[in-house]
Structure 1
């Protein structure tokens, strides 16, 4: 089995305005036996940062063989067009949900189905394996079709890339999601499932969470948010 490694190449945050969001989502690059997999592609606010991060690692966009979309909100999938040759994974439930989202869910981008239909698209149902050491599972709550990815790594144990099933540390502490467009019960169940299996968690909008000796999760560093006035 190839050694599974990962790198958070776009750093997310959970900043918001009184009536809006500044939040950016994490983008995680995973090296698998099948090549590079990108978990989420973030929104347009992260577009240049994503391109720069790949360039700094000497990775061409065509080197990304797979893109896993945790769900179809704009801040997690908008830059999919940068990777036209990638196989794209998305859940069947999310595919259907995005056509008729919850009446309060205003975050589905127009034209996402037409965009994704141009791809080598793999529609997911339930738990499954992408490559040895890289698996996926449903993590509903934020949306009904949200999915997460599990990495079984040598040095860091079980790493769960949670997407917005766990957006930030508050949801781990409270074991209940914010901005739930499915049900509170499904959100809580997804969070508990992730907490039970993970040694590390990569949330949707927060630094990596690491299990401490007391069994609780904490983080080692904050998320920088550099503003430049021009």
Structure 2
């Protein structure tokens, strides 16, 4: 069976000034392929590189880069994987060459970032490996897709922003950016019916038992506020180990 490792863990936070949403990056190893799912934004580049190397691989060892969709926060580090064939959906690939003027999440530099790379356009049911197949999950974007991976933990969905976190999974609807609301709802129902374990785009992995979310990993993130040039900074660590969450101010 395939094995999944987290390279970066998704995280979502709101403040009175802005939203922070850090993307999940997962490594799927099948014995034949080393597959990275999504490439995050540039600020996570070093963390991605370190995470891959801790697992005994180099970015050059990745032969498939599967992009659930082509929003900026899921694809900025495509160049970190120079030997990878990039998998995307035909509708997604077509759309990024002529996005809606109001679409702020699809950057106009995406076609240039993908230029010169080996691109494989895949659709529903494409079998990447014996235990890894593609499902179409449009709604958040026109050509969003996800991976279903058969693992020892059960049927696992790596689902990007089709359902970005546990809250949206319970609601069966993504938020903030929805290209097609009806398609998004249909994709949500399809995902929930298909998966035992969920790797969302901006959350840590979990299982669903009815309406109860059981997280499978711990979460910790440290914020440092730069108050002045003299270095009088203050750090706050947020840590979550289900079911409790702990705030530590240092």
Q: Specify if TM > 0.5.
A: yes
Partner of 2:19: 21
Instruction: Please identify which structure carries the higher strand content.
Output: 2
Structure 1 regions of 5+ residues with no counterpart? Answer: none
Larger radius of gyration: 2
Partner of 2:99: 101
Partner of 2:144: 146
Q: Please tell me whether the aligned partners of residues 178 and 184 of structure 2 are also in contact (alpha carbons under 8 angstroms).
A: no
Q: Aligned pairs, how many? A: 226
TM-score by length of 2: 0.84
Partner of 1:43: 41
Partner of 1:206: 203
1:160-219, CA deviations, whole angstroms, 9 ceiling, x for partnerless residues?
00000010111112111102332111111111101001000100000112133x575432
TM-score by length of 1: 0.91
2:182 aligned with 1:185, yes or no?
Answer: yes
2:30 aligned with 1:32, yes or no?
Answer: yes
Greater relative contact order structure (CA < 8 Å, 6+ sep): 1
Deviates most, 197-206 or 109-118: 109-118
Question: 1:7, 1:103 → 2: CA distance?
Answer: 37
Question: 2:173, 2:59 → 1: CA distance?
Answer: 36
Partner of 1:110: 108
Displacement of 1:157 after TM fit? 1.0
Structure 2 regions of 5+ residues with no counterpart? Answer: 226-230, 232-250
Partner of 1:5: 3
Question: Runs of 4+ in structure 1 displaced over 4 angstroms?
Answer: none
Displacement of 1:46 after TM fit? 0.7
Partner of 1:124: 122
Question: 1:222, 1:102 → 2: CA distance?
Answer: 38
